Amino acid sequence: MDTFSYLGQGFGVALSPYNLFTALCGTLIGTIVGLLPGLGPINGVALLIPIAFALGLPPETALILLAAVYLGCEYGGRISSILLNIPGEASAVMTTLDGYPLARQGKAGVALSISAWSSFVGGLMATCGVVLFAPLLAKWAVAFGPAEYFVLMVFAITCLAGMAGNKPMKTAIACCIGLLLSCVGIDSNSGVYRFTFGSLGLADGIQFVVLVLGLFSVSEILVLLERTHHGQKAIEAKGRMLFNLKEGLSVLATNLRSGAVGFGLGILPGAGATLASAVAYMSEKRLATKDNKFGEGDLRGLAAPETANSASACGSLVPMLTLGVPGSGTTAVMLGALTLYNITPGPLLFQNQPDIVWGLIASLFVANIMLIVMNVPMIKIFTKILAVPYWALVPAIAIITSIGVYAVHATAFDLYLMIGIGVAGYILRKMDFPLSAILLGFILGGLMEQNLRRALSLSNGDLSILWSSSISLAVWALVAMMVALPIWRIWRARRKAATLQSAS
């Protein structure tokens, strides 16, 4: 049987009434979980695995449910990012950069509809990629070893600083703060306590939920309180709830490019949607003309990370199914679900159990269609969040935030740490430091350290392994370009100012 015959067989599985209902439940649950800050797809999928197993769901139905939740979380994460400037998960951080400014301009409906459409395009492109290129791309992903991954993380960080417009130094400092925070806790190799200052609460490091909710949620609460006076209301969503044809066409090229970037990075084990959204956003910012409004409410800046998020989520299933290697944290949890059903992922899975594999792949098409059909009519409901008065919105955000943080370890220390991080984040915001750069540095810091250690272990401490392969050399060349870019921009600006001064 060829690929399309197998795909037809998969649609026979995915379109059965029982599996359709399961996918519908999964997309709805995923959207709600993604909407709530601090949960994210990993928690959503992890919570449903024991439920699916206890209900006795067949393996193909259980995987369809988990995949639908995964995609639903990627859709839902954009809602709080755009409306409240609070990313529901790490991959939604880049969405806040242009999504929230659009909401503040009264274009919340347009922003939500563009993001939903972008997620749909990204998911559709990546699912087609899974069907057509899974075996070939899995072989390509094997070429990336720990040294190549380390260089890729360095490139992501230098990209962020290089694309920072008129404040590359502040962005670089913010990235370094994030890298420093990622070092807090016990060293997994030596067992040495690092930067814990004798506190047992920091022994496990700073949890992502604590950092993201402190930086974004608590600091946003302080900003809202600063702007609030008696009787003031939140931002009003005015005008259209859906984007028009002109706006859709303006982001079409961005959708296509970001979908390809998201899928390409999604199939790399461990890269994940966070890296994909950051690279897609910064690539589009680099390609944009001088009159772009990235960071101030540019639709392309919203479409790029949202397209890459969904494309990466679908693409991360490729290494899980073909190699048995999780492409992201969520697929690592899904891999555990496969073991519960005594299913061994790998190349033989496509031959031995095609119903499971191709049923899952076909369900990705179904889930994406369900999500766009479900989310677009609910945009008007979502924007009602903006009509809530600040005196009611601020306590609600504080309560949800506190519950999300307390649920991690059930300790008051995490709450105090979140408040401290939030106050520091508020001060950094007043000083015009980009908080998203801190979060990206924190997320990539752990991955950088792990891959650097693995690379040096393979080479017995020889640093030349970091530039010994052609892939590493190519990425290092890109790193050099990104380091030189802000220097060149500053030089050009000074030269232009000097020319104008001499002319006057």
* CB contact set of 391 (below 8 Å; sequence gap of 6+): 228
d(CA 318, CA 134): 6
Task: Please check whether residue 312 is in contact with residue 279, taking contact to mean a CB–CB distance below 8 angstroms.
Answer: no
213-to-103, 206, 417 alpha-carbon distances in Å? 20, 12, 11
Q: What torsion do the CA atoms of 339, 343, 347, 351 make, to the nearest 10 degrees?
A: -170
Please give the residue that has the higher pLDDT: either 30 or 348.
Answer: 30
DSSP state of 2: -
- pLDDT for 321 beyond 70: yes
Query: Which uninterrupted H or E stretch holds 194?
Result: strand 193-194
d(CA 362, CA 462): 46
- pLDDT for 409 beyond 80: no
* CB contact set of 448 (below 8 Å; sequence gap of 6+): 150, 153, 154, 179
Question: Domain containing 36: what range?
Answer: 1-468
Compute the mean pLDDT over every residue in the chain, rounded to the nearest whole number: 78
Q: Which of 88, 72, 101 is nearest to 38 (CA)?
A: 88
Q: Is 459 domain-assigned?
A: yes
d(CA 220, CA 416): 17
- pLDDT for 501 beyond 80: no
Please give the residue that has the higher pLDDT: either 243 or 177.
Answer: 177
- Residue 230 pLDDT: 45
Count structural domains, the chain.
1
355, with CB counted inside 10 A (0-12, 13-18, 19+), is middle
- Residue 325 pLDDT: 63
- Residue 21 pLDDT: 92
d(CA 166, CA 295): 12
Q: Is 330 domain-assigned?
A: yes
Long-range contacts (CB closer than 8 Å, 24 or more residues apart) made by 387-393:
387/233, 387/234, 387/236, 387/237, 388/233, 388/234, 389/231, 389/232, 389/233, 389/234, 390/224, 390/227, 390/228, 390/232, 390/233, 390/234, 391/228, 393/224, 393/234
- pLDDT for 72 beyond 80: yes
d(CA 387, CA 297): 20
DSSP state of 185: E
d(CA 410, CA 425): 23
Question: Is residue 234 very low, low, confident or very high in pLDDT (cuts 50, 70, 90)?
Answer: very low
Instruction: Dump the DSSP string for 370-405.
Output: HHHHHHTTTHHHHHGGGGSBHHHHHHHHHHHHHHHH
Place of tokens 């250690």: 453
Q: Is 501 domain-assigned?
A: no
**Total-model pTM:** 0.66
Q: Which of 408, 442, 329 is nearest to 39 (CA)?
A: 408
Give the side-chain half-sphere CA count within 13 A for 460. Answer: 0
Task: Please check whether residue 300 is in contact with residue 287, taking contact to mean a CB–CB distance below 8 angstroms.
Answer: no
Q: Give percent above pLDDT 70 in the chain.
A: 81
- Report helix, strand or coil for 193: strand
Q: Is 213 domain-assigned?
A: yes
Residue 194 sits at φ, ψ, to 5 deg, of -120, 120
- Tens of pLDDT, residues 94-140: 888 888 888 888 787 888 888 888 888 888 888 888 888 766 655 56
Q: Is 499 domain-assigned?
A: no
- Tens of pLDDT, residues 330-380: 776 677 677 777 777 766 677 777 788 888 888 889 988 988 888 777 777
Query: What does the angle CA 119 – CA 78 – CA 283 come to, to the nearest 5 degrees?
Result: 60
Q: Is 3 domain-assigned?
A: yes
- Tens of pLDDT, residues 420-435: 988 998 888 888 787 7
Residue 468 sits at φ, ψ, to 5 deg, of -85, -20
d(CA 69, CA 151): 32
Q: Which residues in 180-191 are b (16+ Cβ under 10 Å) and which e?
A: ebbebbeeeeee
- pLDDT for 45 beyond 80: no
Q: Is 304 domain-assigned?
A: yes
494, with CB counted inside 10 A (0-12, 13-18, 19+), is exposed
- E strands, 4-132, are none
Q: Is 221 domain-assigned?
A: yes
Q: Which residues in 285-306 are b (16+ Cβ under 10 Å) and which e?
A: beebeeeeebbebbbbbbbbbb
d(CA 326, CA 202): 28
Question: Is residue 232 very low, low, confident or very high in pLDDT (cuts 50, 70, 90)?
Answer: very low
- Tens of pLDDT, residues 445-459: 877 888 888 888 888
CA dihedral (278, 75, 86, 215) positive or negative:
negative
Q: Which of 476, 467, 478, 446 is nearest to 163 (CA)?
A: 478
Lowest mean pLDDT among 273-277, 384-388, 413-417: 384-388
* CB contact set of 131 (below 8 Å; sequence gap of 6+): 3, 7, 361
- pLDDT for 497 beyond 60: yes
